[in-house]
Structure 1
């Protein structure tokens, strides 16, 4: 019998040193969805973001829709960014990230099915929640809870045949494998999503704060229609989002109280969770090993630590 995949330990959802290690191993080395070109419709308007305590600004520089640059707000340096053929802007927050094609080698054919330049920008909202960033991603990456937590959503997308297809650094969610073109639901590792259905599109970023038990949620909404049609769509997707919000706060409370420590993931229904958690585990452990080796090399012959070389190292317990 093949071994079953275990979840990340609860301690990984509650540790500040562990989060600092995640910043260096995961967030500094990833790409982030900032939005379609319609989000940047005004020349010169600065659209601000903050991901893993890195503040960045995207700005359309001219009348050419694709002339968009992304800057680090603190240093003023231009960050690596990429606009897909169908009009989605992605960015990095660090030079440590690989190229876009290396990070998402098989993404383009999938997002090539939608012309994102046809979806007008309508609204953005943001707020904080009392849960770790991974708690929210756990919920998005499975749909075992959907029928009970999202009854209105399940009417349109019954979870009976719900399937997650995992690729390198992203996952595609399909409600019915026989209707793969019925909506586009994507998770971009580590913390972005894209949901296209019902004539509109929503995307959100799960932005960790310095407190492991607090996360800022950022939502952007797009729709072909304005007025009542958009408001109807907005009300529907906000209901689904708030149902997830409440579930995540309760889950985080159980994690912090020690009610839940570690468990087994369903090998059929939780493959999306297994994929992203194992990715986090691999990157964090590799970073921890690298930094531990660097610290060892930084010791002088008398066994003292060269503090100038090890100031940035944080060594959490990984268990």
Structure 2
């Protein structure tokens, strides 16, 4: 059993202090998926995101007669003079960072463009976006997305079209590719972008969601974007189908968070095959949090030494518990 990976303890889903460490370690040092370029097709609309308490604004300033490219897309903070690093893939996917501490896009998502360049994400127009809060930690939702063991029981409609028997997850550097059925290469593509974003192509349309953390560890905000090229009637059928899956996941996450906060569940063992996606992202979170904690502790010790405080005057202080 010692060789099997254990889940993150329940405390990691319930601690405000730990979230602040996650914010510095994970969110401020990651690239975040904002959407395909069709999300910004309306030249008169500023699209605003709030990710880990940082506001990101995207505006399409290209002339109406031009196509949409990186020259026409402007990404900035609340202060318009503060430009934010962004990257538009050749296939039409826009990503942005929250700080200058992030590595370059190619290093962070090594190999991603080789996969996404096989798909033209500019074909499906943006049809609808919705946003609402949920009573669960951001990791609770990502846990559910990164495995499909629960699909057969909680998503009967989805499982009818995408049997979990074939479901597999392949993990790469800071992203995962889900495959619902190897025989449906053009449908059933699910991408997870570490830490909180997804892109899903199935049911004839495309959708993405972001699970946005709040300072309250038991609360997250869900943001969904939906894309489809069909008529209004066809889109509404697609929307109804994918929303049913999202509602089922939402209810499952709120119940799971209740159990985490009540102490019903502490930690457990992850299935190395069926839950390899959960193992991948949880270990990545753990690795980054430990690195940040070590870096901050070293910096604090150096400040104390530089101040030449007499021995015994200043104690070591209480470290954030990350075990």
TM-score category, normalised to shorter length: over 0.9
1:286 counterpart = 2:279: no
Task: Find the residue that maps to 1:116 and give its secondary structure.
Answer: coil
User: 1:246-267, CA deviations, whole angstroms, 9 ceiling, x for partnerless residues?
Assistant: 0000000000000100100011
User: 1:58-108, CA deviations, whole angstroms, 9 ceiling, x for partnerless residues?
Assistant: 001122411101111147411000111111111111111111111111011
Give 1:109 deviation, angstroms.
1.8
Task: Find the residue that maps to 1:229 and give its secondary structure.
Answer: helix
Residue 258 of structure 2: aligned partner:
253
User: 1:17-39, CA deviations, whole angstroms, 9 ceiling, x for partnerless residues?
Assistant: 10000010000111111111111
1:134 counterpart = 2:136: no
Give 1:180 deviation, angstroms.
3.9
Q: Partners of 1:127 and 1:315 in 2: how far apart?
A: 34
The within-5 A match list for 1:229-248 is 229-248=234-253
Q: Partners of 2:260 and 2:58 in 1: how far apart?
A: 36
Residue 200 of structure 2: aligned partner:
195
Task: Sort the Cα spacing of 1:314 and 1:226 in 2 relative to 1 into closer, same or farther, 3 A.
Answer: farther
TM-score by length of 1: 0.94
Structure 2 residue ranges without an equivalent (≥5): none
Residue 61 of structure 1: aligned partner:
61
Q: Partners of 2:251 and 2:35 in 1: how far apart?
A: 26
Task: Find the residue that maps to 1:240 and give its secondary structure.
Answer: helix
Residue 275 of structure 1: aligned partner:
280
Task: Find the residue that maps to 1:212 and give its secondary structure.
Answer: coil
Q: Partners of 1:316 and 1:143 in 2: how far apart?
A: 33
Task: Find the residue that maps to 2:55 and give its secondary structure.
Answer: strand
Q: CA RMSD in A?
A: 1.9
Give 1:178 deviation, angstroms.
4.7
Indicate conservation of the 8 Å contact 2:179/2:190, yes or no: yes
Indicate conservation of the 8 Å contact 2:31/2:96, yes or no: yes
Structure 1 residue ranges without an equivalent (≥5): 306-312
Give 1:244 deviation, angstroms.
0.2
Give 1:316 deviation, angstroms.
1.9
Residue 320 of structure 2: aligned partner:
316
Q: Partners of 1:224 and 1:7 in 2: how far apart?
A: 40
Task: Find the residue that maps to 2:58 and give its secondary structure.
Answer: strand
User: 1:136-163, CA deviations, whole angstroms, 9 ceiling, x for partnerless residues?
Assistant: 0000000000000000000110001211
Task: Find the residue that maps to 2:122 and give its secondary structure.
Answer: helix
Task: Find the residue that maps to 1:159 and give its secondary structure.
Answer: coil
User: 1:7-56, CA deviations, whole angstroms, 9 ceiling, x for partnerless residues?
Assistant: 00000000001000001000011111111111111224210000000011
TM-score by length of 2: 0.93
Task: Find the residue that maps to 1:161 and give its secondary structure.
Answer: coil
Q: Partners of 1:6 and 1:157 in 2: how far apart?
A: 28
1:154 counterpart = 2:194: no
Q: Partners of 1:150 and 1:131 in 2: how far apart?
A: 19
Task: Sort the Cα spacing of 1:46 and 1:242 in 2 relative to 1 into closer, same or farther, 3 A.
Answer: same
Give 1:318 deviation, angstroms.
1.1
Give 1:182 deviation, angstroms.
3.2
Task: Find the residue that maps to 1:294 and give its secondary structure.
Answer: helix
Indicate conservation of the 8 Å contact 1:17/1:315, yes or no: no
